[in-house]
């Protein structure tokens, strides 16, 4: 099944929302700033942000490939998903929306690398930045886990896109980080003001996205499970 512009825009938006969530945003900025200090260039922070986000994109793509390829390769699960994916999406989107709205608590264990490894990677320049981005992407916080596993993976399964949709999600996570890196490169003071305003905006954007998930879930349930509507 082919996907279109709507699905691409959706996963890019989910990536942006993931990146500006408080936990990932603070981590991303701290990591790229630290890596940038080790690079002797006027745009060191920007280069570090690009390297870091490439690592995150690779991580998301590999996770998606492993999950989706594994599920599709099992005939029973593959046939079930092809026949009932729309029915499955409804409840998944509902739970995802409730997680995003923080109506359901989600506690995740911390699988992040230790400080010695992070320091060694941070001192290794751009390639270390790629590796750091890859490792940090594996340390999911509640919001990023809900968005990635509850939305991006199901959409990728529905359209059997284990590479492109996760790639665009990674691109979405990269955009705010690289944008803030440009701001830091020009003005640290302005970056602080922008960071605070972005944190306020994130709360509202997350709430709007969570409500949209619930609305879409209701549509999927009414159309594909209860068959009350046919549009």
DSSP characters over 61-105: HHHHHHHHHHHHTSHHHHHHHHHHHHHHHHHHHHHHHHHHTTSS-
Q: Is residue 18 part of a domain?
A: no
Instruction: Tokens for 205, please give them.
Output: 């954007």
Give the three-class secondary structure for 205.
Answer: helix
Q: Is residue 149 part of a domain?
A: yes
Q: Quick one: pLDDT at residue 9?
A: 92
Distance, CA of 202 to CA of 21 (rounded, Å): 6
Q: What is the pLDDT of residues 28-73, one digit of tens each?
A: 777 777 766 666 665 777 888 888 889 989 999 999 999 988 888 8
Q: Is residue 13 part of a domain?
A: no
Q: Quick one: pLDDT at residue 158?
A: 86
Q: Is residue 2 part of a domain?
A: no
Distance, CA of 231 to CA of 229 (rounded, Å): 6
User: φ and ψ at 157, to 5 degrees?
Assistant: -65, -45
Q: Which residues of the chain have pLDDT under 70?
A: 1-2, 35-42, 106-115, 118, 122, 187-192, 194-195
Reference 70, options 156, 139, 138, 175; nearest CA is 156
Q: Quick one: pLDDT at residue 29?
A: 73
Q: Is residue 110 part of a domain?
A: yes
Q: How many domains does the chain have?
A: 1
Q: Is residue 194 part of a domain?
A: yes
User: Taking the CB of residue 201, how many other CB atoms lie within 10 A of it?
Assistant: 11
Q: Which domain holds residue 152?
A: 26-225
Q: Quick one: pLDDT at residue 11?
A: 92
Q: Quick one: pLDDT at residue 38?
A: 63
Q: Is residue 17 part of a domain?
A: no
Q: Quick one: pLDDT at residue 23?
A: 74
Q: Quick one: pLDDT at residue 164?
A: 92
């Amino acid at each position: 099944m082919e996907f279109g512009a709507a699905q691409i825009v959706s996963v890019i938006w989910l990536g942006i929302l993931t990146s500006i969530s408080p936990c990932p945003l603070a981590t991303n900025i701290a990591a790229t700033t630290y890596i940038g200090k080790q690079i002797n260039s006027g745009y060191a922070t920007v280069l570090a942000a690009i390297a870091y986000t490439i690592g995150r994109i690779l991580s998301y793509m590999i996770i998606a490939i492993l999950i989706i390829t594994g599920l599709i390769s099992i005939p029973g699960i593959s046939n079930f998903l092809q026949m009932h994916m729309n029915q499955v999406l409804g409840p998944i989107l509902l739970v995802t929306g409730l997680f995003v709205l923080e109506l359901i608590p989600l506690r995740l264990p911390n699988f992040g690398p230790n400080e010695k490894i992070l320091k060694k990677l941070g001192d290794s320049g751009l390639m270390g930045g790629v590796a750091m981005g890859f490792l940090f992407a594996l340390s999911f916080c509640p919001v990023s886990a809900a968005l990635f596993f509850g939305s991006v993976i199901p959409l990728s399964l529905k359209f059997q896109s284990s590479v492109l949709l996760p790639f665009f999600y990674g691109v979405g996570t990269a955009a705010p980080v690289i944008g803030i890196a440009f701001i830091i490169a020009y003005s640290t003071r302005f970056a602080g003001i922008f960071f605070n305003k972005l944190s306020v905006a994130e709360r509202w954007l997350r709430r709007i996205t969570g409500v949209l998930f619930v609305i879409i879930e209701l549509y999927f349930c009414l159309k594909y499970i209860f068959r009350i509507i046919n549009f």
